[in-house]
Amino acid sequence: MTTLTRRTFGLATTAAGLALAAPSVLHAQTTARLVVVGGGFGGASAARYARIAFPRIDVTLIEPKTSFVTCPYGNLLLAGERTLPQITHSYDGLQARGVRLVHDWAETIDASAKTVRLRNGQTIPYDKLILSPGIAIRWNAIEGYGEAAAEAFPHAWIPGTGAQTALLRRQLEALPDGGVVGFAIPPNPFRCPPGPYERISMVASYLKAHKPRAKILALDAKDAFSKQGLFQDAWNELYPGMIEWVPLNKDGKVTKVDVQEKVFETELGTRHKIDVGNVIPPQSAAQIAIDAGLTNDTGWVPVNPLTFEATRARDIHVIGDANIGQPMPKSGYIANSTSKVAVAAAVAALEGRPAPAPTVYFNTCYSHVGPEYGISVVGIFRPGETAFVETANAGGVSPRGPLAQQREQRRLEALHADAWYGAITKDAFS
């Protein structure tokens, strides 16, 4: 593990592309305390960046797990193209950079006392809190889909230790050829907009190789989805006749599941018998954000688009999937890129400087849809007065067209996706 020298510090900050004020307004009496809750893409990136850009700040990361399994590339486990260790990342890199790691659950936040209380009863004081808690599943928003039902119909949408994804993989392995794999897909907003469709593709890739008579029934609570044209082109070319996608207006919204009968029931009362079921349930910000009173009636946390400070509490900056970032997607990429802006704004406030000037928020979401077949969507966003604004005529999606014409493009994008995964996990965990 490399140690931080003045030289690497300079390089790192240049690479981050953020102007730094001269470190002239250090508070002499104590070291300012930045506490980060949540060690996913948002929190890990925030802690890492804070150590690199502001080594004078004391950084604590509260995260119950001792390693992190990424959502990105989790779908490739279902196709057997990656293994769990390949998408598991330790916090050793952050520790080596001087991040103090606390492996416990952050249970509650006291915004007036400025403390975080841990499950073990200890409280940790902060001057600025970076809250990156991720999502919570809205259990029973689909009738019959409580926590116990997730052992029969895995969601595999919060990786945890990877158990849910492993369960879904085992179920696919046990599926008889000719069986039906059902997907229940939630309305917007939810974590990883193209994720369900990449997952459908990866499951189809596995089925095509091992159970070619199996079918996929994708029941969707939406009428349109991310990279839809590209996904559907790929499904027609790679997996003809295997995937049926049912939109909201064709009775696609799953409102009830029955784990005993193995049935997904939709709004208009159609009962679909399935053999393996993946329920991607409706979601909200994680419970700690709700308990702290940071969420509004959408279930997500409104934030200042320039600083990511919660509009409902001072000195708590909320990043990642938990905030209301629309039209930005709830993605690891956005969590990573906005974490740096939130940290820079938090430290500026601590040191009595104005927030950094508005910057640009980038997002790229790659999806694997088959072997050597990658597609992507790019979005460029800016902070507006009260919300985020997508920059028109920037970004876009991969070119459409038959595989015969686009083969090289698809192959390259699959490689770009792999490179992206390597880069972002380094930028968060190394």
Partner 1 sequence: MTTPRIRVPSSVKAGEAFEIRTLIDHPMETGLRHQTGQAVARRMITRFEAQADGEVLFTADLRNGTSANPYIGFFARLVRTTTITFLWREEDGREYRATQRVTVT
Q: Measured from the CB of residue 249, what is the shortest distance to partner 1 in angstroms?
A: 5
Range in contact with partner 1 (rule: CB under 8 A) among 6-14, 93-101, 110-118, 243-251 = 243-251
Q: Measured from the CB of residue 126, what is the shortest distance to partner 1 in angstroms?
A: 41
Judged by beta carbon, residue 162 or residue 252, the one nearer partner 1 is 252
Judged by beta carbon, residue 251 or residue 275, the one nearer partner 1 is 251
Instruction: Give phi and psi for 24, each to the nearest 5.
Output: -105, -15
What are 243's two structure tokens? 């995937």
DSSP 241: T
Judged by beta carbon, residue 225 or residue 381, the one nearer partner 1 is 225
Range in contact with partner 1 (rule: CB under 8 A) among 78-86, 87-95, 249-257, 285-293 = 249-257
Residue 356 CA, distance from chain mean position? 25
For 78, counting Cβ atoms within 10 Å of its Cβ (0-12 exposed, 13-18 middle, 19+ buried), the class is: buried
Q: Measured from the CB of residue 251, what is the shortest distance to partner 1 in angstroms?
A: 4
Residues touching partner 1: how many (CB under 8 A)?
11
Judged by beta carbon, residue 224 or residue 419, the one nearer partner 1 is 224
Judged by beta carbon, residue 173 or residue 244, the one nearer partner 1 is 244
Range in contact with partner 1 (rule: CB under 8 A) among 137-145, 245-253, 289-297, 376-384 = 245-253
What are 299's two structure tokens? 């279930």
To which residue do tokens 């909201």 refer?
Answer: 248
Side chain identity at residue 388, one-letter code: F
From the list 251, 315, 351, 390, which residue makes contact with partner 1 (rule: CB under 8 A)?
251
What are 19's two structure tokens? 């102007």
Judged by beta carbon, residue 249 or residue 405, the one nearer partner 1 is 249
From the list 123, 249, 296, 298, which residue makes contact with partner 1 (rule: CB under 8 A)?
249
From the list 48, 253, 272, 317, which residue makes contact with partner 1 (rule: CB under 8 A)?
253
Residues 255-284 that bind partner 1 (CB under 8 A): 266-270
Site string for partner 1, 283-302 (x = CB under 8 A): --------------------
Cβ distance 116 to 108 under 8 Å? yes
Q: Measured from the CB of residue 186, what is the shortest distance to partner 1 in angstroms?
A: 15
Maximal C-alpha separation, the chain: 70
For 250, counting Cβ atoms within 10 Å of its Cβ (0-12 exposed, 13-18 middle, 19+ buried), the class is: middle
Cα–Cα distance list, 251 to 243, 369, 404, 428 (Å): 16, 25, 35, 41
Q: Measured from the CB of residue 187, what is the shortest distance to partner 1 in angstroms?
A: 10
Residues 190-229 that bind partner 1 (CB under 8 A): 223
Q: Measured from the CB of residue 270, what is the shortest distance to partner 1 in angstroms?
A: 6
DSSP 82: S
Judged by beta carbon, residue 258 or residue 267, the one nearer partner 1 is 267
Q: Which helix (H) or strand (E) holds 237?
A: helix 228-238
Judged by beta carbon, residue 232 or residue 255, the one nearer partner 1 is 255
Judged by beta carbon, residue 270 or residue 304, the one nearer partner 1 is 270
For 56, counting Cβ atoms within 10 Å of its Cβ (0-12 exposed, 13-18 middle, 19+ buried), the class is: exposed
What are 399's two structure tokens? 């070119």
User: How many Å apart are CA 245 and CA 147, to the nearest integer?
Assistant: 26
Cβ distance 117 to 123 under 8 Å? yes
Q: Measured from the CB of residue 246, what is the shortest distance to partner 1 in angstroms?
A: 10
Q: Kindly list the residues in this chain that would bind partner 1 in the complex (CB under 8 A).
A: 223, 248-251, 253, 266-270
